[in-house]
Amino acid sequence: MPELLFPLDSSKSFTDQQIVGHNRWHPDIPPAVTVKPGDTFRAHCREWFDGAIHNDDSADDILNAPLNNVHTLSGPFAIEGAEPGDLLIVDILDVGPIPQEDSGPLAGQGWGYTGIFATRNGGGFLTEQFPDAYKAIWDFSGQSTTSRHVPHVKYTGMVHPGLMGTAPSPALLGTWNALEATLIATDPDRVPPLALPPEPDGAVLGSLSGAEFDRVAGEAARTAPPRENGGNQDIKNLTKGTRVFYPVFVPGANLSFGDLHFSQGDGEITFCGAIEMGGFMDLHVDLIKGGMETYGVTENAIFLPGNTDPQYSEWIAFSGTSVTLDGEQRYLDSDLAYQRACLHAIDYLTTFGYSPEQAYLLLGSAPIEGRLSGVVDIPNSCATVYIPTAIFDFPIAPSKEGPVQIDPGMGAPTASFG
């Protein structure tokens, strides 16, 4: 095991740890740890809701989740000698659930969860169809997982960090805040909101305190979106063996990461999302000095995916186009097309006996592929979603005999604001 530079105690909250991480982006959050190019190290990662979600059969915790407290990131890790303009090489040597702890009350201790937010809390990709809160608990057995809330499926997880990135420069942070404020201003009362402005409530900023804490908390960007620094990209393919190249915007690069997922479908359509857990990351870091200009990288991560992702060779796929359910023709809207493809998949799965929310939770967490198949054929985009057939313990392809009927079990817990 590489040296553990960022330990977490599963029995303590995120802010009571030996080293306190952060849950906002700001160049002035001090590095928690300093490493050298070429170093290999381990860090623990806290599950993104800091333990608020329980291994039970109620969705109340999802409904009342502490939204301002996310994401509980490990870091920042300063890399000696990193300067703006460099490319930071991050090798994901390993990533997994909380080591040595396979049972307990904290997600990552042998289990994880998939949640769907109620619309008021941000909703999910299909919030118009699923306005309430839902939850599924997934039990881990090695790298495979099953759920009492979504029975008759078992799959191998694509374990990855949902969130990783470097600190923004002051200028980049300013741009984020300006652009996002402009967007929010176009419809400030929208539910769910268009974007999340800086929010001092719930901010955790590492070792900062006092006035400096207050200043930074008022300026720091939220961690929800992916941005130029990487961030909450939720790329399911950042699995073990992946090499990522991040642009460096501040001296030391200030790498942070978290939001570990045991598995996720492309898009993380359930928002809360994937199979959430705490765990560990083993990383190796290095630098390409001046690499941003050398390789034409101004922003966003480049990566070389690992080669140990679970292999599935048979798939059932669904397609969608950019016409709304209400019958409005949109212009080349791949998000709408992907929504429609996902809804088609859900409609299909319900003919076998699943509830719609079970199917939705499955699509958010299983290693499904979501592809931008056609993006130029005016006025309709075509998006496709692929589900591996081997994850079901019953035959899932269409046949003349019609769908077999499964026992959906207890179903997925639901909660609403009533």
* 38-97: contacts with a copy of itself (CB under 8 A): 40, 87, 89, 91-94
DSSP 96-136: EE-TT--SSSSTTSSEEEEEE--GGGT--TTTTT--SEEEE
For residue 373 the two structure tokens come to 């198949």
**Which among 12-20, 208-216, 250-258, 284-292 is the span making contact with a copy of itself, rule CB under 8 A?**
284-292
**Which among 50-58, 77-85, 266-274, 407-415 is the span making contact with a copy of itself, rule CB under 8 A?**
266-274
Please say which residue, 20 or 317, places its beta carbon nearer to a copy of itself: 317
**Residue 414 lies near a copy of itself (rule: CB under 8 A):** no
Identity (one letter) of the amino acid at 49? F
**Residue 213 lies near a copy of itself (rule: CB under 8 A):** no
Contact predicate 281/43, CB 8 Å: yes
Q: Which of 312, 354, 360, 392 binds a copy of itself (CB under 8 A)?
A: 312
**Residue 402 lies near a copy of itself (rule: CB under 8 A):** yes
* Shortest spacing between CB 12 and a copy of itself, in angstroms: 19
d(CA 381, CA 377): 6
* Shortest spacing between CB 172 and a copy of itself, in angstroms: 11
Other beta carbons within 10 Å of 154? 15
Please say which residue, 94 or 208, places its beta carbon nearer to a copy of itself: 94
Q: Which of 302, 405, 416, 417 binds a copy of itself (CB under 8 A)?
A: 302
* Shortest spacing between CB 234 and a copy of itself, in angstroms: 4
* 229-248: contacts with a copy of itself (CB under 8 A): 232-237, 240-241, 243, 245
Q: Which of 18, 328, 407, 418 binds a copy of itself (CB under 8 A)?
A: 328
Q: How far is CA 83 from CA 8, 33, 45, 169, 266, in A?
A: 29, 17, 26, 11, 33
Q: Angle 356-365/334-350 helices, nearest 10 degrees?
A: 120
**Residue 380 lies near a copy of itself (rule: CB under 8 A):** yes
**Which among 8-16, 59-67, 211-219, 317-325 is the span making contact with a copy of itself, rule CB under 8 A?**
317-325
For residue 184 the two structure tokens come to 């929010």
Q: Which of 373, 392, 412, 414 binds a copy of itself (CB under 8 A)?
A: 373
* Shortest spacing between CB 264 and a copy of itself, in angstroms: 9
**Short-list 120, 401, 374, 391, CA closest to 265:** 391
Q: State the number of binding residues for a copy of itself (CB under 8 A).
A: 130
d(CA 205, CA 214): 10
Binding mask 167-206 for a copy of itself (x = CB under 8 A): --------x---xx-xx--------xxxxx----------
Q: Which of 61, 266, 276, 357 binds a copy of itself (CB under 8 A)?
A: 266
d(CA 382, CA 317): 12
* 89-128: contacts with a copy of itself (CB under 8 A): 89, 91-94, 99-102, 122, 124-125
To 10 degrees, the CA torsion angle through 400, 404, 405, 411? -110
* Shortest spacing between CB 204 and a copy of itself, in angstroms: 19
**Short-list 74, 70, 78, CA closest to 23:** 70
Identity (one letter) of the amino acid at 238? L
d(CA 200, CA 205): 10
**Residue 347 lies near a copy of itself (rule: CB under 8 A):** yes
* Shortest spacing between CB 79 and a copy of itself, in angstroms: 15
d(CA 224, CA 43): 21
Q: How far is CA 330 from CA 326, 334, 418, in A?
A: 11, 10, 32
Please say which residue, 56 or 347, places its beta carbon nearer to a copy of itself: 347
